[in-house]
Amino acid sequence: MQTDSSFTFVLFGGTGDLSMRKILPALFEAHRAGGMLAESGKIFAVARHIEDRADYLEWVNGHVKPHVSKNGLDEAAWASFLERIEFVKIDLGNAEDFVLLRDAIQDLPGIRVFYLATGPSLFVPICRALASVGLNENSRIVLEKPLGYDLKSSNAINDAVGEIFAEEQIYRIDHYLGKEPVQNLLALRFGNALFEPLWRREWVESIQITIAEELGVEARGDFYDNTGALRDMVQNHLLQLLSIVAMEPPHSMDSDSVRDEKLRVLRALKPIDPRDITKVAVRGQYHSGVIRGNAVPAYATEAGVKPDSTTETFVAVKVEIENWRWAGVPFFLRTGKRLADRVAEIVVNFRAVPHSALGASALRAGANRLVIRLQPNETIRLYCLAKQPGEGMNLASVHLDLAFDQFFREGQMEAYQRLLLDVINGRLALFVRRDEQEAAWRWVEPILNEWSTSNRPPKPYASGTWGPAAASAMLAQHGTCWLEEEN
C-alpha cells in the first residue's frame, strides 16, 4: 500500500485507559521528537461521554499529561500537540453517528488510521459502521488484543473484519514486538556471525520466556475473570516472542518475509495431547500475600471476580518445536500476576562444555546464557565463566553488557511509539498476520478445553512469590530452573 506523509489518526475509545497511558503519550513523543509526524497530521478522538473538543482537551490535560511529564515536559511541544487533536462525539452503537466522523475527516489529505482501543465486541460493529459511510477505503485499521475468546470466535471476528478491510489494511497489534530489545534480538541474530552457529539444538539446552507482573487484576476483574492468563498473555505475547526467538533468518526484513518465518515456527509447535496437559502446563491462582511490604488480597476477593472462580492468574507451559533446528530443545513459557517482581525476559541457556578440566562449576546448568531483558530495564547480557582473582582455578560467573544507551545518544523509542509510526507509514512486519493468530489459537486450544472441562482447580500460590511449586518442578525434570535472581 502506498502512503504519504499526511495522516488522520482516529482513536476509538479516546477516554479509555489504553489511550490515556499508552497511545496518546506515544503520539506525543513522536510529535515532540520532530520530523516523525507530518505537520499536517491530525488526531481525532472518539468518545460518547464528552461533549466537545474543549472538554476533551481538558480531559487530556488532566489524564494524559501526567503520563508524559515524568522526565520533564516541553510546554511548547505539548501546546502544539494539543493543536493536532480534534474530537467527535459518537455513540458507537449508533451507526448513523459515523456520518459525523465522515464529514469531519473526508477532505483531509493522506492515509486514515482507525485505532480500535475498545473491547473486541465492538470491533465488527465499528468496522461495519465505517464501511457504511465509505471510510474503509484508503485506510488502515488497528485491532487491540484480545481478538476473540478462542479459535472459533477469533475466526468470526477476522472473517467479518476481512469482508470490509483487506489483510494488508489490518494491523493486529502486539506491543511486545515493538520493544527495543526484541528489535535488537533480530539485529543480534541476523546482523552478526557470532551467534548464528550457536542458535540451534547442538548448543542450546533450553530457552525460557517470562512475563511476570507484581500487579493483580486491578479494576479489570470482570474482564480478567472471563479471560485468564492463557488467553491474555500466552496465546499472543509469549508465542509471538517465541516465534521471534526461534524463527529462521528471513531473506529480507519486509513484512511478509518476517511473518512467513514466524508462521513456520507456530505451525511447527508440537501439538499437545490432552492426556499430557498436566505434565506440560501448570495453571495457578494467586492467594493473599505481601508485595514490597504491602499486604495484597487473594484473586477470589478482587472486585468483579467470582468467589469460586477457577480462572488462572499464572501459567507455565513447556513447548517443543518439531523442526530441524530446535528438535529436542524445550521452550518454557511463564506468565503471572502478583509475582515476586515485574520482569519480562528471554533466557537462552547454552549447553555446558562436554568435558571440564576446571572442575564441576564449568558443567553447571546456565553457566553460559544470554538474557534479553524487555522490562523494566531493557538490556541484553551475556553470561560466561571466568577465573576468580587469587590462588587456584576457581570459576565465577561474569557478564558482558550490551549497553545501548552508552553507544547511542538518542533515547530508546517506546514500543507503542514505534508501532504507531509503523502503522502510519504502512510497515506491517511487527504486526500479527491472521494465519499467525490462527496457528497460535490452534496450539493453545487443547489446554483451554481441558482446563474448562476438568474439575481440577488452579494451584494456589502466595502473592509475592514466583508461582506454584509445580512450575519449578516441571523445569527440574529437565535439569534446569527458572532464572529469578537477576537485577
CB 431 within 8 A of CB 174: yes
Model confidence at 1, in pLDDT bands (50, 70, 90)? Answer: very low
Task: Quote the pLDDT of residue 361.
Answer: 67
CA torsion sign for 32, 35, 41, 47 is negative
State CA 64 to chain mean position distance: 22
- The structural domain count of the chain equals 2
- Who contacts 182 (Cβ-Cβ below 8 Å, separation ≥6)? 176, 241, 244, 372, 374
Q: Of the candidates 120, 154, 172, which is a domain's last residue?
A: 172
Mean pLDDT of the chain: 91
User: Average pLDDT in the 445-454 region?
Assistant: 94
Kindly state whether residues 187 and 148 are assigned to the same domain: no
Amino acid in the structure at residue 411: G
Bridge partners of 396? 386
Model confidence at 2, in pLDDT bands (50, 70, 90)? Answer: very low
Kindly state whether residues 194 and 282 are assigned to the same domain: yes
Tens digit of pLDDT for each residue in 324-347?
999 999 999 999 999 999 999 999
Kindly state whether residues 402 and 444 are assigned to the same domain: yes
Nearest-CA neighbor of 140 among 486, 431, 409?
431
Kindly state whether residues 408 and 330 are assigned to the same domain: yes
CATH code for position 277:
3.30.360.10
Kindly state whether residues 50 and 82 are assigned to the same domain: yes
Kindly state whether residues 205 and 345 are assigned to the same domain: yes
Grid coordinates representing 217 are 487484576
Nearest-CA neighbor of 8 among 28, 30, 38?
38
Domain assignment of residue 158, yes or no: yes
Amino acid in the structure at residue 261: E
C-alpha to C-alpha distance for 84 and 103, rounded to whole angstroms:
17
Domain assignment of residue 108, yes or no: yes
User: Average pLDDT in the 266-291 region?
Assistant: 96
User: Average pLDDT in the 357-384 region?
Assistant: 81
DSSP string, 252-316: SSSHHHHHHHHHHHHHTBPPPPGGGHHHHEEEEEEESEEETTEEE--GGGSTT--TT----SEEE
Compute the residue count for the chain: 487
Active-site annotation holder among 31, 175, 237, 287: 237
Domain assignment of residue 379, yes or no: yes
* 268 SS3 class: coil
Q: Is 237 a catalytic residue?
A: yes
CB 471 within 8 A of CB 482: yes
CB 60 within 8 A of CB 27: no
- Report which of residues 271 and 146 the model is more confident about: 271
Bridge partners of 461? 286
Kindly state whether residues 39 and 127 are assigned to the same domain: yes
- 65-74, 113-122, 247-256, 434-443 — which one is most confidently predicted on average? 434-443
C-alpha to C-alpha distance for 233 and 249, rounded to whole angstroms:
26
Kindly state whether residues 77 and 131 are assigned to the same domain: yes
Model confidence at 487, in pLDDT bands (50, 70, 90)? Answer: very low
Poorest-pLDDT segment among 7-21, 128-142, 156-170, 411-425: 411-425
Domain assignment of residue 423, yes or no: no
Nearest-CA neighbor of 195 among 342, 351, 370, 76?
370
Kindly state whether residues 187 and 306 are assigned to the same domain: yes
Give Rg (Cα) of the chain.
Answer: 24
Kindly state whether residues 299 and 376 are assigned to the same domain: yes
371 phi and psi angles, rounded to 5 deg: -115, 115
CB 417 within 8 A of CB 26: yes
pTM to 2 decimal places: 0.92
* HSE of 165, CA atoms in CB hemisphere, 13 A: 29
Domain assignment of residue 486, yes or no: no
Kindly state whether residues 210 and 74 are assigned to the same domain: no
* 250 SS3 class: coil
Strands 369-375 and 343-350: antiparallel
Kindly state whether residues 274 and 152 are assigned to the same domain: no
Domain assignment of residue 421, yes or no: no
Residue 362 has pLDDT above 70, yes or no: no
Task: Quote the pLDDT of residue 384.
Answer: 87
Cell 509503523 appears where? 422
* 5 SS3 class: coil
- What is the extent of the structural domain holding 16? 7-172
CATH code for position 40:
3.40.50.720
Q: Of the candidates 137, 157, 172, which is a domain's last residue?
A: 172
Helix 180-190 / helix 239-246 crossing angle, nearest 10 deg? 20
Q: Of the candidates 172, 197, 217, which is a domain's last residue?
A: 172
C-alpha to C-alpha distance for 7 and 41, rounded to whole angstroms:
5
Task: Give helix then strand counts, H and E, for the chain.
Answer: 18, 17
- Report which of residues 394 and 439 the model is more confident about: 439
Domain assignment of residue 384, yes or no: yes
Domain assignment of residue 1, yes or no: no
